[in-house]
Chains A and B, each alone.
Chain A
Amino acid sequence: METNVSNYQNQTYHFKGLWDLPSICGLKIVKKQNETVVIATDLFDDNPGTSITEWNTKLIKEICDNNNINYYEVIYIEHTPNKKTKLSFNQESFYQVEFDIVDDKFDNPKWKELTKDQVDKLITI
């Protein structure tokens, strides 16, 4: 079943990526009692700059700082929408990314694939 992309992004987020390239991604922030879920969505051809995956250590810190999110209470998800081709590697995916946090910096990303149901549960308040 095709995803309604707006379920996972409610704003376009502008950031400076690698080598200061102007870059964009979709963004949805769901604040819950003890945690905040942040979903960054790759916008592929509409993004003139750096991908969310390449820039995730910087991007998550920037989003947390700008939105007053505790680094230790964030669940960060990278969302890759379906590119609407018949190629399997262009299908939709969700990955939760876990980081080491050292000296207020995010480092050493590790990805874990999530199902859409798992993501839906996470963003349900």
Chain B
Amino acid sequence: MKFQLIFPKWRKLEGQTTFNLPPHGAAVFAATIPEHIEVEFIDENLEEMRFDDDVDFVGISMLLTTQIKRGWAIADEYRKRGKKVIFGGISTMLHAEETMLHADSVFLGEAEGHMEQVFADFKNGVLKKVYNHMNDLPPIEIVGPARREIYKRDLYYHKGVQMLDLFHASRGCKFSCYPCAVSYLGGRRFRPRPIDKSIEELEMIENNRLFIVDNSLAQDTQWEKDLFREMIPLKKKWCSHTIEDKPEVLDLAAQAGAWYVYQAVFDTSDYIRRRVKQYHDYGIGVEGTILLGLDNQTEDDIKRLIDFLLEIDLDLAEFTILAPFPHTKAHNDLIKQDRIFNKNWDDYNAGQVVYQPKHMSPERLQELYQYAWDAFYKDETQEEKMFKLLKKVVSREIDDGTFRKRRKDLSKTSFGRNVNYKIA
């Protein structure tokens, strides 16, 4: 049986450097599919769709809200051709009821342990409209290595440099942050993978540079320290979301190859200033993630915040506008206050204002978002700052013998497409 697994494309944010990383959810899902099924993966961000391929069953893996309308359109095309389509993934769970209108089946929850049944049902012509496993999370021990061999590897290179591979060491989150739906998606209990399983998977990844995509590694100090300690011999270099700022954790993280971490910057406090310095003291870079448009932010607050970011010497900054994703407190609050004026999911890309901000007009918030990017990258562009971070990791790789030269055969392509060099 041939199963075509699709990762739909989405509209990228204007003015920002686009990097296409190999999609993680699709590869984690593919690992749960019975081995006798042939899986063909299409990342539509990098490849054209092939609706007329000879396939038996189609899966659509959806990560982002801004991706779902394209996912629905793809499903409609396949279903016109008589193919059965199943949806899964994070944004399928966030938008399940709407997605059901375009699906033969939707899978809700985590796939491990359930795909034998789904494929048997498909084969027997009794595919269910919904496989609801939201309240039936698998034991974390059975989460296996992602099936990364589904990727067409050469597509994930930019001018010969391989993009990071994605990896996860845990699921669930004990925090319920205002704009985040992770606790709805993965449960409110932090579920770390056993260290040996994580290390086993890390050893299998033929890429020295990783993005550890866990929502937050800062949830269990002992586990975090154990994980980093075991990672040291692997000599990987990685970025991740928040890690704890305890000296013993930072020391182990640095030894384990921490390259840079994402740090939410929500105010101009000494706490943030100190935290960024602490990371830097251990040789770990910091990319600030700055959410604009919260109800406690006036125009002056936003401008002061941007000045502060320049003062504290962040390596990179990523600005986003609050997007009220379903199943978040942000969404509930704005719905109650009747402040959401745009319900076109294509625009829920965290770069477009879709609600009435409390202290300014939507247009003004949109301008301030652009101002934030422009002001932060005024003296040094995003690409230049990224290059500085890259140089740091290259120098560490040269020191520990893990540096790989760029691939010459792909030096004139970027994500599978020819690069047009501009001649001055």
CB distance from B129 to the nearest CB of A (A): 13
Q: Does A106 contact B (CB under 8 A)?
A: no
Q: A51 contacts which of B108, B266, B329 (Cβ < 8 Å)?
A: B329
Q: Does A101 contact B (CB under 8 A)?
A: no
Asked if A21 and B332 sit within 8 Å, CB to CB, the answer is: no
Interface residue stretch chosen among B24-32, B52-60, B200-208, B333-341: B333-341
CB distance from B110 to the nearest CB of A (A): 13
Prevailing SS type, chain A contact patch: mixed
A29-56 residues with Cβ-Cβ distance < 8 A to B are 44-45, 48, 51, 53-54
Asked if A54 and B332 sit within 8 Å, CB to CB, the answer is: yes
Q: A19-B96, A21-B135, A48-B188 are in contact. Are A90 and B178 (CB under 8 A)?
A: yes
Chain B residues closer than 8 Å to A44, beta-carbon distance: 176, 329
CB distance from A123 to the nearest CB of B (A): 20
Chain B residues closer than 8 Å to A89, beta-carbon distance: 178, 294-296, 329-330, 333
Prevailing SS type, chain B contact patch: loop
Chain A residues closer than 8 Å to B330, beta-carbon distance: 89
Chain A residues closer than 8 Å to B174, beta-carbon distance: 45
Q: Does A88 contact B (CB under 8 A)?
A: yes
B230-277 residues with Cβ-Cβ distance < 8 A to A are 266
Q: Does B152 contact A (CB under 8 A)?
A: no
Asked if B332 and A53 sit within 8 Å, CB to CB, the answer is: yes
> Bound state CA distance, A58 and B234, in angstroms?
52
What per-residue 1/0 map shows which CB atoms of B169-188 lie under 8 Å from chain A? 00000111010000100011
Total CB contacts across the A-B interface at under 8 A = 51
Q: Does B134 contact A (CB under 8 A)?
A: yes
What per-residue 1/0 map shows which CB atoms of B320-355 lie under 8 Å from chain A? 000000010110110111100000000000000000
What per-residue 1/0 map shows which CB atoms of B131-163 lie under 8 Å from chain A? 010110000000000000000000000000000
CB distance from B167 to the nearest CB of A (A): 27
Chain A residues closer than 8 Å to B296, beta-carbon distance: 87-89
> Bound state CA distance, A53 and B294, in angstroms?
20
Chain A residues closer than 8 Å to B187, beta-carbon distance: 48
Asked if A111 and B338 sit within 8 Å, CB to CB, the answer is: yes
Asked if B135 and A22 sit within 8 Å, CB to CB, the answer is: yes
Q: A48-B187, A51-B329 are in contact. Are A111 and B336 (CB under 8 A)?
A: yes
Report A's interface with B, CB cutoff 8 A. Answer: 18-22, 44-45, 48, 51, 53-54, 78, 87-90, 95, 111, 113
Given A45-B174, A53-B335, output 9 extra A-B contacts at Cβ < 8 Å. A19-B135, A21-B135, A45-B175, A45-B183, A45-B188, A89-B295, A89-B296, A89-B330, A111-B337
Report B's interface with A, CB cutoff 8 A. Answer: 96, 108, 132, 134-135, 174-176, 178, 183, 187-188, 266, 294-296, 327, 329-330, 332-333, 335-338
12 A-B pairs (CB sep. < 8 Å): A18-B134, A19-B96, A19-B134, A21-B134, A21-B135, A44-B176, A53-B336, A87-B178, A87-B266, A89-B178, A89-B333, A90-B178
